[in-house]
Amino acid sequence: NAGVMQNPRHLVRRRGQEARLRCSPMKGHSHVYWYRQLPEEGLKFMVYLQKENIIDESGMPKERFSAEFPKEGPSILRIQQVVRGDSAAYFCASSPMEGNTEAFFGQGTRLTVV
C-alpha cells in the first residue's frame, strides 16, 4: 500500500508564474488536507477536501490559491501569480475518515519562488 504521494518534490517558479502541486492520497483514503509550513514555523492548515468537494477552506488565502480533488486523479493545489512569500513546504495529508483519526503525510513539495 503506497503512502501519500506528492509531486513534484521540489518546484522552482519565477514570480508571476503558476505553481501546481499534486497529491495522491493513500489507497482507500477519501479525505485530503493541505498544509503550508514556512521556514522555522509550524504547519498551517489551508484546506480540507473530499472527493469533488471542498469541505473547509478557511486557511486558504482569498486570492491566487485554489484547490480541487476531482473524482479521478490527484488533489491539486494551485497557486497563481506566485510571489516570494509563497516559498514554503506544502504538505498533503490523507485519512480514511474525518480528522478524528490520524492523518498520513506525503513528503511535501518545496516551492521556491525566485
φ, ψ of residue 22 to 5 degrees: the values are: -115, 150
Rule CB under 8 A: is residue 34 a binding residue for other proteins? Answer: no
Complete DSSP assignment for 26-61: PTT--EEEEEEE-TT--EEEEEEEETTEEEE-TTS-
Rule CB under 8 A: is residue 98 a binding residue for other proteins? Answer: yes
> Of the candidates 21, 34, 48, 77, which one interacts with other proteins according to CB under 8 A?
48
Q: Which is nearer to other proteins, 17 or 37 (CB)?
A: 37
Rule CB under 8 A: is residue 108 a binding residue for other proteins? Answer: yes
Rule CB under 8 A: is residue 59 a binding residue for other proteins? Answer: yes
Distance CA 106, CA 90 (A): 9
Rule CB under 8 A: is residue 69 a binding residue for other proteins? Answer: no
